[in-house]
Amino acid sequence: MVQKTTELYRGKAKTVYNTTAENLLILHFRNDTSAFDGERIEQLDRKGMINNKFNYFIMQKLEAAGIPTQVEQLLSDDEVVVKKLDMIPVECVVRNYAAGSLVRRLGVTEGEHLTPATFELFLKNDALHDPMVNESLAVSFGWATEEQLATMKQLTLKANQVLLALFDAAGMLLVDFKLEFGIFNGAVVLGDEFSPDGCRLWDKETRKKLDKDRFRQGLGGVVEAYEEVAQRLGVNLD
């Protein structure tokens, strides 16, 4: 069995550990909940467990659809074993409906259906507030190659189709989400996590927000909303 050794990295909501296996890491999902690039942080009981099991469920669905992911095995309620990726510092964002920064930047109406879905790139840098970038900048600064970026876009849009159908069947709108990728044995692989921390989910009928916007906007019921999403999808939280 893979055992954790030293701490490799501590993020806003997860801690990454080295393991006794050279090419494997352990992700520990903590109860920390942050917003505004880490300026506001709170502890929410059970959140780490929910996000860990939610992420594992989603990654299994994406793997089954032919999208390579870093997930290897669920280790405990709040830990998962993953491949050790050389992470690409560019986030891929898909928007199916207008919300968040898109509304602020362009003055469009929240909830407007975007057809086709938009695809954007953002530099992963909290100090700079994750600025929007393009393929040319990513290649020029050596963040990724043209081929890697093309693969990232193709996999992200494929994931969108899989997840749109999954959430729709559970009575939810997948408003937007971000994905991060890394390199493993020369191939582009989906890394980090997919959870309500990194996407927007609304009830299809009422437009009730079921994601981290409940925390950002002080709506309350954050963990309850995450649990509702998981239960609708059939995620085993026991």
Domain boundaries, the chain: 4-83, 86-221
Give the model confidence (pLDDT) of 19-33 as tens digits: 999 999 999 999 998
At 3 the pLDDT is: 94
pLDDT at 37: 67
**Residues 65-99 pLDDT 10s:** 999 999 999 999 999 999 999 999 999 999 999 99
Q: For the chain, percent helix, then strand, then coil, each to nearest 5?
A: 30, 35, 30
What pLDDT, on the 0 to 100 scale, is given for residue 41?
Answer: 84
Provide the 3-class DSSP secondary structure of residue 167: helix
The string of pLDDT tens digits covering residues 30-61 is 999 887 766 778 999 999 999 999 999 999 99
Domain 86-221 part of CATH 3.60.15.10: no
Cα 85 to chain centroid distance, Å, stands at 16
Q: What are the tens digits of pLDDT across the range 1-14?
A: 889 999 999 999 99
Distances from the Cα of 173 to the Cα of 43, 81, 95, 137, 199, angstroms: 27, 29, 11, 32, 11
What distance separates the 2 farthest-apart alpha carbons in the chain?
52
> For residues 132 and 112, what is the distance between their CA atoms, to the nearest angstrom?
21
For the chain, the distance separating the N- and C-terminal CA atoms, rounded to the nearest angstrom, is 22
Please, what is the angle between helix 47-64 and helix 222-233, to 10°? 30
Average pLDDT over residues 137-165: 98
pLDDT tens-place string over residues 189-198: 999 999 999 9
Burial of 119 (0-12, 13-18, 19+ CB in 10 A): middle
Strand partners, 183: 86, 188
Query: pLDDT at residue 187 above 90?
Result: yes
Task: Determine which helix (DSSP H) or strand (DSSP E) holds 110, and give its type and residue range.
Answer: none
Confidence check: pLDDT of 238 > 90: no
Which CATH architecture group holds 4-83? 2-Layer Sandwich (3.30)
Residues of the chain with pLDDT > 70, as a percent, come to: 99
Average pLDDT over residues 122-147: 97
Task: Please give the average per-residue pLDDT across 106-117, as a whole number.
Answer: 97
Question: Quick one: pLDDT at residue 36?
Answer: 75
pLDDT for the residue numbered 22: 94
Residue 147 sits at the vertex; the CA angle it makes with 144 and 149, to the nearest 5 degrees, is 50
Is residue 2 helix, strand or coil?
Answer: coil
| pLDDT tens-digit series, residues 166-180 | 999 999 999 999 999
* Averaged pLDDT for residues 197-208: 97
Cβ proximity of 228 and 210 under 8 Å: yes
> What is the dihedral angle through the alpha carbons of 196, 201, 203, 204, rounded to the nearest 10 degrees?
-150
Closest CA to 198 of 45, 59, 60: 59
The reported pLDDT for the residue numbered 34 is: 80
Residues with Cβ within 8 Å of 24's Cβ and at least 6 positions away in sequence, in order, are: 2, 72, 81, 82, 83, 84
